[in-house]
Chains A and B, each alone.
Chain A
Amino acid sequence: MDAGRRDVLKAGGGTALLTLLAAAGWLKPGEAQAAWNAAAFETHSLDATVKALGGGSAAASKDIAFVSTPDIAENGAVVPIGISSSIPKTESIAILVEKNPNMLAAVFDIPPGTEPAVTTRIKMGQSSNVYALVKADGKFHVASKEIKVTLGGCGG
C-alpha cells in the first residue's frame, strides 16, 4: 500500500491528487485560526446558526433595519446589504442568507463605541430571505427581508 502511494507521488502525474494535497494544506491555516467559527459557517438553518453562535433562539425584532439594501438584486454575485440595529448593547451583527449553500455569510463584532451598523456586499445563489441576526446583551434578535435575485452568484 505504502509503495503504491509513493509511486503515485513520485510520478507526480496526478494533478487531481496534487490539488487535493494543496487543498489540505490550505485548510490547515484556516483551522489554526481559533477566531473563525467553522461550525457556525456550516449551518443550514437559522436555529442551528444561532446555536452555533452560542444562543438559544432568536426573537423577531422591529429594531433592526436594512439600509441601502435592494428588494431586487440584478446580480446575485454582488448584493449590497446594510444592517443597522437600534437595540441597546448590540454586541454583534450577523448576515444570513436562507437559500445559500451555507446560511451564514458574515458575523461582525461591534465593540462599545462603534455604531451597530455595517454595510457590505454579499453573494446570493437565488432569491431568498436574508436574515439580520443581532446579539444584544446576550440575547439574539432577528429581522428578515426577501431579496429577489435575477442572476445567481453561486453558479459554475
Chain B
Amino acid sequence: MADPMKIRANLAGDTTEVKVLMSHEMETGQRKDAQGKVIPAWFIQNVTATWNGKTVLSAEWGPAIAKNPFLSFRFKGGARGDKVQVNWVDNRGDKRSDEATIA
C-alpha cells in the first residue's frame, strides 16, 4: 500500500479548490538500471475525485506525469465540513483512497 495522499480542500466563495499531492514513483518504462535492463513502467492510470458521492473530476494519466504527482482543480459547490475523496489506481492494480474535509 502506498503512502497516503495529502489533500487540501478550501472553500472560496461558491467554489471549492482541491489540491492533491500523491506519493508514487511514476516510473516511465523508458529508464534503464545499472545493468542496462529497462525498469518496467509503474504509474498511476486513473484518478477520480468525488464530493458527496458525486464525481467532480476524473482523469486518465500516462507515465509522463511527474513523480509524486500534484493535481489541483476547482468545482462549484461544497460546504465546510463536506468530504472530498480522491482515489487512484496504478498499472499494477494498486489503489489508494484518501479523503479530506472542506475547510
Contact between B65 and A121, CB atoms less than 8 A apart = yes
A102 within 8 A of B: yes
Closest chain A residue to B26, Cβ basis: A123
- Given the interface pairs A114-B56, A117-B73, A155-B31, the reply to whether A23 lies near B66 with Cβ below 8 Å is no
Q: How many residues of B are counted as interface, with CB atoms below 8 angstroms from the partner's CB atoms?
A: 38
Closest chain A residue to B31, Cβ basis: A156
Most A CB atoms within 10 A — which of B57, B61, B66, B73?
B66
List A residues 3-53 near B (Cβ within 8 Å).
16, 19, 22-23, 26-30, 32-33, 35-37, 40-41
Contact between B66 and A77, CB atoms less than 8 A apart = yes
The interface residues of chain A lying within 8 Å CB-to-CB of B73 are 108, 114-115, 117-119
Contact between B72 and A118, CB atoms less than 8 A apart = yes
Grouping DSSP codes into helix (H, G, I), strand (E, B) and loop, the A interface class, with mixed when no group exceeds half, is mixed
Closest chain B residue to A106, Cβ basis: B61
Contact between B70 and A120, CB atoms less than 8 A apart = yes
Q: How many residues of A are counted as interface, with CB atoms below 8 angstroms from the partner's CB atoms?
A: 47
The interface residues of chain A lying within 8 Å CB-to-CB of B26 are 123
List B residues 44-80 near A (Cβ within 8 Å).
45-46, 54-67, 69-77
- Given the interface pairs A106-B61, A108-B57, A114-B75, the reply to whether A120 lies near B67 with Cβ below 8 Å is no
Contact between A26 and B64, CB atoms less than 8 A apart = no
A104 within 8 A of B: yes
The interface residues of chain B lying within 8 Å CB-to-CB of A58 are none
Contact between A36 and B46, CB atoms less than 8 A apart = yes
- Given the interface pairs A36-B46, A108-B59, the reply to whether A117 lies near B64 with Cβ below 8 Å is no
* Closest-CB distance, B47 to chain A (whole angstroms): 9
The interface residues of chain A lying within 8 Å CB-to-CB of B60 are 35-37, 40-41, 106-107
The interface residues of chain A lying within 8 Å CB-to-CB of B63 are 102, 123
Query: Cα distance A107–B48 when bound, in Å?
Result: 12
A79 within 8 A of B: yes
Binding site for B on A (CB under 8 A): 16, 19, 22-23, 26-30, 32-33, 35-37, 40-41, 77-80, 97, 100-102, 104-111, 113-115, 117-124, 153-156
A-B pairs, 10 with minimum CB distance: A29-B93, A105-B64, A30-B91, A156-B31, A121-B66, A114-B75, A156-B32, A119-B72, A41-B62, A115-B74
